Chain A
Amino acid sequence: AAGVIQSPRHLIKEKRETATLKCYPIPRHDTVYWYQQGPGQDPQFLISFYEKMQSDKGSIPDRFSAQQFSDYHSELNMSSLELGDSALYFCASSSIGGGYTFGSGTRLTVV
């Protein structure tokens, strides 16, 4: 069965650079979620999209932005990267009343 695809798997950036993470949800899933998991932490909700519109917003820094495109894939853009942005970034997708499936995550390291 198709799963949630995230790219890249690993990313190393320098401070003040920008990064773009991509997420391809399961076909026919209409909602995409982004989570940030710092080292030794639980995942924290950043933002979600339903049918290409932002549906909820969590603790997402102003330096971050995201969108969902017409093909339902989503991108998380992070600018002016800081050391504290080093984390595992998960994307998940779901359908109404359905299950919630996580991607394998993108490990971002800021040096």
Chain B
Amino acid sequence: AQTVTQSQPEMSVQEAETVTLSCTYDTSESDYYLFWYKQPPSRQMILVIRQEAYKQQNATENRFSVNFQKAAKSFSLKISDSQLGDAAMYFCAYRSAGGSEKLVFGKGTKLTVNP
């Protein structure tokens, strides 16, 4: 079974600075998807960024980018120019490319942005 590990229960960053959230995963599959979801206090699950395992290029969405290291099974999220609105719980998630398409989540990292 696949597992996702987020080793940082909490992180903090100063407004306008950069922060990196860590995620590692374990799988025997070669094709899969990885995601970062943001969950603000409203509890809505918001997709931040998605990476297909077959793509070597790291995904980027505006101020959000990932460092995907397939061999190391690592998928970190970098948030640049942090804003107060980035404060939330961030979940890393794994999804198989075939068979079950359920998401397997890490335990989450609570990000605080200090003004």
> Is the pair B44, A45 in contact by a Cβ cutoff of 8 Å?
no
Closest residue on chain B to residue A47 by CB atoms: B102
Question: For the complex, what is the distance from the CA of A55 to the CA of B102, rounded to whole Å?
Answer: 10
CB B45 to nearest CB in A, in angstroms, measures 4
Closest residue on chain B to residue A105 by CB atoms: B43
Q: Is A24 an interface position by the 8 A CB rule?
A: no
Given known A102-B45, A104-B44, A105-B43, contact A48–B107 (CB-CB < 8 A): no
B107 proximity list for chain A (CB < 8 A): 41-42
Contact of A48 among B45, B50, B100, B108 (CB under 8 A): B100
Question: For the complex, what is the distance from the CA of A43 to the CA of B47, rounded to whole Å?
Answer: 14
Given known A42-B106, A42-B108, A100-B95, contact A48–B101 (CB-CB < 8 A): yes
Q: Is A14 an interface position by the 8 A CB rule?
A: no
Given known A42-B91, A42-B108, A43-B105, contact A105–B44 (CB-CB < 8 A): yes
> Is the pair A90, B45 in contact by a Cβ cutoff of 8 Å?
yes
> Is the pair B100, A56 in contact by a Cβ cutoff of 8 Å?
yes
Question: For the complex, what is the distance from the CA of A93 to the CA of B101, rounded to whole Å?
Answer: 11
Chosen A-B contacts, 8 in total, with CB atoms closer than 8 Å, are A43-B105, A44-B105, A45-B103, A90-B45, A94-B101, A100-B101, A104-B44, A105-B43
Question: For the complex, what is the distance from the CA of A42 to the CA of B45, rounded to whole Å?
Answer: 11
Given known A43-B45, A105-B43, A105-B44, contact A56–B105 (CB-CB < 8 A): no
> Is the pair B103, A100 in contact by a Cβ cutoff of 8 Å?
yes
B101 proximity list for chain A (CB < 8 A): 31, 33, 48, 55-56, 94, 100
